[in-house]
Structure 1
């Protein structure tokens, strides 16, 4: 089975792909293209990462962060080793041949591209990172490299959909305190609980940052077991591990 790399026309010109679990060598609960070292045989994870990069930008150099659900962004000038990767949740670069990668398993991956300036970015936007401004920080870091909000395109990739994302009232209250209009991202559920639209919220943050070109793939990681890893699905099933998929973007050399 070949690697499935979802693309979006707004990012045309950049080498990119939102990958799932198809096309990998991991087995068992993690079967497929698991790219996380934390739960898998390192040899299998390494092979999966090679396959992921080859599916998007053959010969590219993959760089990822040690993700901590923060708004922190790293500007990439030179490659680093995996052991030395910085703690952050987004990366930007204008260097051809470097492939920026973010790992997710229900959180929203966001890929950015300014074709005019030749700048790309990738952000891991879980609810906490999105709430505290990881996408805003990514845009600002791209601007520091010469990008413009008028030219930056951003696409929200596969993540947990509202129909699959039940949260409690305290979670909802946090968003209402941030802005009353955030009410539109919640739908009433059972007593004391609501359903949260993470994808819609992230896309709204991008539009509020004055990006005119914002896309969404509309793919629910929780509901598509054959295509995507999902932390919440694995937790509900009491599975020992849940795996991660990767989203990639780079500038061809």
Structure 2
């Protein structure tokens, strides 16, 4: 019997169709064994992507059966777009998207960066953001909240959940990295602890949560799952890089309206 797709959900998002997926329940093999969702810039119809297409079908059926999956071409920036009817090959370059249309399932890919799912259930508006350190620093979550407001959401009614991402214990950075964050705000020092000489451990999840809280939304939930440390459950770019592996899997986080 095939392994079921594992779907992690956030209490704060309640009954909104959503899920943070990992690597369990897919058909990909090799170093990306499991529920690998990455298109890798390839033609979506390339036969080599057949396992990914099946994984995506399984993911959609596990979260919002029959929905139309919509994603963007992620570039580690801060742009957010309203989900459209584009083909996979025509995805806009952005790192977040929003919708108020039932039957549309927003999808964000990550492999250590923080996936953020947002919802205003009263207005019927949802959003999804890919928040690596670059995008988070540039304001991708702020852009997503603003885009939700343009669709009728109220900032105080928006709640957000931060899914599996690389944890502080696994995320070593250098002094130059730390200084970039301190240039934005001196109190960002709270997101670093000393590590090896000249290096620090960075709390990406904490930093993203703080950006959301400062935006004045109604609530923020952290799942507290480490993509780097939990190999059985998640793909990790940094883990694959440290091992010199030729590829790495991408997990997807999904949210939509029934």
- Please tell me the TM-score bracket, short chain as reference: over 0.9
Give secondary structure in 1 for the equivalent of 2:156: coil
Specify the alignment match of 1:216 in structure 2: 222
CA distance in 1 between partners of 2:67 and 2:228 (Å): 30
Specify the alignment match of 2:51 in structure 1: 44
Unaligned runs of 5+ in 1: none
Matched, 1:250 2:252: no
How is 1:61-210 mapped onto 2 (pairs within 5 angstroms)? 61-76=68-83, 78-210=84-216
CA drift at 1:41 = 2.6
CA drift at 1:79 = 1.9
Specify the alignment match of 2:12 in structure 1: 10
Among residues 214, 228, 236, which one is paired with 2:234 in the alignment?
228
Unaligned runs of 5+ in 2: none
Count of paired positions: 251
RMSD: 1.0
Q: Deviations over 1:83-121 (max 9, x none)?
A: 111100000000000000000000000000000000000
CA distance in 2 between partners of 1:171 and 1:137 (Å): 23
How is 1:14-29 mapped onto 2 (pairs within 5 angstroms)? 14-29=16-31
TM-score (norm 2): 0.96
TM-score (norm 1): 0.98
Give secondary structure in 1 for the equivalent of 2:173: strand
CA distance in 1 between partners of 2:196 and 2:87 (Å): 47
CA distance in 2 between partners of 1:151 and 1:46 (Å): 35
Deviating beyond 3 angstroms after TM superposition, the runs of 4 or more aligned structure 1 residues are none
Q: Deviations over 1:164-189 (max 9, x none)?
A: 00000000001111101000000001
CA distance in 2 between partners of 1:237 and 1:41 (Å): 24
Q: Deviations over 1:41-65 (max 9, x none)?
A: 3100000000000000000000010
Contact 1:61-1:79 at 8 Å conserved across structures: no
CA distance in 2 between partners of 1:37 and 1:95 (Å): 25
Q: Deviations over 1:188-209 (max 9, x none)?
A: 0111100000000000000000
CA drift at 1:37 = 2.1
